[in-house]
């Protein structure tokens, strides 16, 4: 399986994503500069964390127009896997590949802490190795992770099982106190209806080895690999 990690001006999470894929999963992976306009030969692309274009306008708003995003749209339409982490999630929202928008954290402060997540949908290529309802520990590091959709879109997300992760207590309860950024309904990650595009604010790549505090995020990447292998290596 071959991965591509997309790098925009201002990206910094590419190093972590690249490390997990290459050194932890031992899979082929390339870094892809944002001017690349063809993703042929790749099975999964990752839009990693960082501050694309400095976030000066609105997080992800400029990166959305990079040449590679046209290729990402075609890649997703073909059913290939797209994973957006933190800033990558914000870019996918701006590009219309996922529903909703990001607002400033309710605290108006940058939050960099470990949080608990509850798995809401384990029937995706990204989550199949988790149990539904399983509580995970992952890192967050963002100033604009306050996910928002209107009431009609929220109903659609619920009807189509597109809410993938929610912030929760260590016991798995969905409470305001467990919500680190004010996100609507404690939403921490969503997918598209087809299930091949996932965006999440927490960092699975920074939570993939026990030595750095948690290995719970590693199963996101291992689920992707299991999905690909289950399809006979045909993406």
**Residues designated catalytic:** 86, 203, 205
Helices (H), the chain: 14-19, 67-77, 87-94, 151-159, 218-230
Separation CA 16–CA 94 (nearest Å): 23
| Residue count (the chain) | 235
Q: CA 232: distance to chain centroid? A: 25
Pure H helices in 64-149: 67-77, 87-94
Q: What are phi and psi of 135, to 5 degrees?
A: -100, 130
Q: Which residues of 40-71 are buried (b: 16+ CB within 10 A; e: fewer)?
A: eebbbbbbbbbbbbebeeebbbbbbebebbeb
Which pair of tokens denotes residue 167?
A: 């912030």
Closest by CA position to 6, among listed 83, 103, 94, 101: 83
The DSSP 8-state label assigned to residue 113 in this structure reads: E
Token readout for 151 is 């009431």
């Amino acid at each position: 399986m071959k991965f591509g990690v997309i790098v925009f001006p201002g990206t910094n999470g590419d190093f972590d994503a690249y490390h997990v894929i290459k050194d932890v999963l031992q899979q082929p992976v390339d870094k892809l500069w944002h001017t690349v306009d063809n993703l042929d030969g790749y099975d999964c692309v990752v839009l990693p964390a960082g501050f694309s274009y400095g976030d000066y306008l609105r997080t992800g708003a400029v990166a959305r127009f990079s040449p590679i995003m046209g290729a990402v749209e075609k890649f997703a339409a073909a059913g290939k896997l797209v994973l957006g982490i933190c800033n990558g999630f914000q870019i996918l929202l701006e590009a219309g590949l996922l529903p909703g928008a990001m607002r400033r954290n309710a605290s108006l402060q940058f939050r960099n802490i470990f949080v608990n997540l509850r798995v809401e949908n384990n029937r995706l290529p990204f989550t199949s190795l988790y149990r539904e309802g399983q509580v995970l520990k992952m890192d967050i590091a963002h100033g604009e992770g306050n996910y928002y959709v209107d009431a009609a879109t929220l109903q659609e997300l619920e009807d189509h099982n597109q809410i993938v992760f929610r912030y929760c207590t260590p016991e798995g309860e969905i409470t305001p106190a467990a919500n680190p950024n004010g996100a609507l309904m404690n939403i921490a990650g969503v997918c598209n209806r087809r299930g091949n595009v996932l965006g999440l604010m927490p960092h699975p790549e920074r939570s993939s080895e026990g030595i750095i505090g948690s290995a719970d995020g590693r199963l996101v990447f291992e689920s992707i690999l299991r999905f690909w292998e289950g399809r006979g290596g045909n993406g």
